[in-house]
A = this chain, B = another copy of it.
C-alpha cells in the first residue's frame, strides 16, 4: 500500500489549537473602496436604488464576521464576543474607508474575522452601487492591530488609532 499524492509537507490541515490558552483577543482590520465622485454623492444623499448603502454594508460586515469559518477553509469556527464596523467618507479622494473590530475569548485569534468583515462590507458597497458605477476598486485590506494570544500584540506600522470602540481605547 502506498501513500501518495499529498505528502507530509503539502498536506492541508486545520492546525490543532487544543493546547493553546483561552485569552481575550482583539483584531482590527481596515480596507477601502474607491468610487466615482458621482457615486459618493449618491451614497451620501441616499439615492441608490437598492437602499441606504452604508447601513447594509455595516450589517453585512457584522454577519460576515460570523460566517468567516464557513468561507475560509482552514479557519476554526469560534465564538465571537463582539463586532463593530466603522465607515469614513473621504470625499476629496472619493474613497470610503472601512474598519472592522472583532473580539473573542478563546484559543485562536480573530484576524480572519476582522479581515472578512471588512471585505464583505466593501463587496456590499460594490453591490449596492454597481448599477451606476462598475469601475469601483477595493484595496488595502489589511490587519492593523491584534492583541492577545501567545504571539502577543501586533500593530501595523504607520496606522493611527485615535478613536474609541466597545467603550474603551484599543
Residues of A within 8 A of B (CB): 1-6, 9-18, 24, 31, 43-44, 46-47, 49-52, 54-56, 58-60, 62-67, 69-91, 97, 103-107, 111-112, 115-116, 119-120, 122-124, 126-128, 130, 134-143, 146, 154, 156, 166-167
A82 contacts B18, C-beta separation under 8 Å: yes
A72, B9: Cβ atoms under 8 Å? no
10 CB-based A-B contacts, threshold 8 Å: A5-B54, A5-B87, A10-B46, A17-B82, A18-B105, A71-B71, A72-B123, A115-B123, A116-B123, A137-B142
User: Would you call B16 and A103 a contact (CB within 8 A)?
Assistant: yes
What copy number does this chain have within its complex?
Answer: 6
Choose from B4, B56, B104 the contact partner of A73 (Cβ within 8 Å). Answer: B56
B79 and A76 contacting across the interface, CB-CB below 8 Å: yes
Task: State whether A13 touches B50 (Cβ < 8 A).
Answer: yes
Evaluate contact between A66 and B58: CB separation under 8 angstroms: no
Determine whether the beta carbon of A126 is less than 8 Å from that of B139. Answer: no
